[in-house]
Amino acid sequence: AQSVAQPEDQVNVAEGNPLTVKCTYSVSGNPYLFWYVQYPNRGLQFLLKYITGDNLVKGSYGFEAEFNKSQTSFHLKKPSALVSDSALYFCAVRDDTGFQKLVFGTGTRLLVSP
Amino acid sequence: EAGVTQFPSHSVIEKGQTVTLRCDPISGHDNLYWYRRVMGKEIKFLLHFVKESKQDESGMPNNRFLAERTGGTYSTLKVQPAELEDSGVYFCASSQVSSTIVETQYFGPGTRLLVL
């Protein structure tokens, strides 16, 4: 069975500092990994995805994520955080064995302080 | 291009009543998904349509939930009768059908359902 773990309920970072939001996964086949962000009173917005190839994936709003197969991780990163990055971040996975449903983690709230 | 839209944005109903949620996918997207997030927990898959056919309904919690997608366009999710544990945010997503790429699912703003 597929699963995703986001070990931190909340991440606090000061504006201008680098940020990392952690995600680990478990799938039976090859993983396809996604990050989504939910701003207050908004829906989920797609940030980036890893399918294959380069382990460093670049996405929207300056975010990037690093795929690590040996550690089964897909951490979200940004070199310099903005206050406007404060939101709820979800990691999701699906595999290549057929069904297209996404399996999500519980979400991590990112709080960037001025 | 319009995104995925959902109606209503909020719904408050009494236990035992019926509620119908609507989702309009992005034009041209044959894949349509329903997900649900119960307070503070993960977002869970409910079901997946390809056009008007149910491809995967393994996440539907019980027979009080009925999803339809007549004509392969918009979809409705009806809960009848609603129970307290049905409260949560119901998300709809859509994506293109492709045999060569892993498509991205684009989500709507969600419908926040509260059952009292």
Q: How far apart are CA B83 and CA B15, in angstroms?
A: 5
Find, among B28, B29, B11, the residue nearest to B20 by Cα.
B11
Find, among A104, A32, A112, the residue nearest to A78 by Cα.
A112
Asked if A59 has any chain B CB less than 8 Å from its own CB, the reply is no
Query: How many residue contacts between A and B have a Cβ separation below 8 Å?
Result: 63
Q: What is the pLDDT of residues B55-74, one digit of tens each?
A: 999 999 999 999 999 888 99
Check CB contact under 8 Å for B48 and A103: no
Between the CA of residue A51 and those of A17, A67, B55, B114, what are the distances in Å?
A: 28, 10, 22, 37
Please report which confidence band the pLDDT of residue B40 belongs to, taking 50, 70 and 90 as the band edges. confident
Q: Which residue of B has its CA nearest to A40?
A: B109
SS3 of residue A82 by DSSP: coil
Q: What is the pLDDT of residues A44-66, one digit of tens each?
A: 999 999 998 889 999 999 999 99
Chain B nearest CA to A65, separation (Å): 16
Task: Give one word for B110, left, alpha or beta, with left for phi > 0 and alpha for psi -120 to 50.
Answer: left
